[in-house]
Amino acid sequence: MEQYDDESNIHHEPVAVPKHSSPFENRPELHKTFIENLHLLGQAGNLPHGFGLLPEEWDEDGYPVAEHIPYGPRQRTKKISLPHHIWYPRAILWGQALFVLNAIQYESQ
């Protein structure tokens, strides 16, 4: 097994993974609506405002290429690289999906 540089700093039990659940359980019509609208939003190339996807939402350095993640009792940080070509497309899909999900939840109230 490959050992990573950080492994020597980890001395705690792993955190349990949350149980998987779907916001569309017992609501297949909402799941269909979600998939259809996410597909339409993606095809249109629309980026929702407020999810850190638009250049005007970034700081003066542009899209963040790294993030400092706090860890440990003293809140030390570890710098994690966020290569644009890998993470920005994923961020777009995440932001679009969250936008559609929020809209569906709002409409179904």
Residue 12 lies in a domain: no
pLDDT of residue 64: 86
pLDDT tens figures, 40-78: 999 999 999 999 999 999 989 888 888 898 888 888 899
**How many domains would you assign to the chain?**
1
**Cross-strand partners of 76:** 71
Q: State the pLDDT confidence band at 79, using cuts at 50, 70 and 90.
A: very high
Residue 72 lies in a domain: yes
More confident residue, 71 or 8: 71
HEC states along 26-90? CCHHHHHHHHHHHHHHHHHCCCCCCCCCCHHHCECCECCCEEEEEECCCCEEEEEECCHHHHHHH
pLDDT exceeds cutoff 50 at 1 = no
* Residue 76 Rama label (left phi>0; alpha psi -120 to 50; beta): beta
Residue 62 lies in a domain: yes
Residue 13 lies in a domain: no
Q: Which domain holds residue 46?
A: 25-107
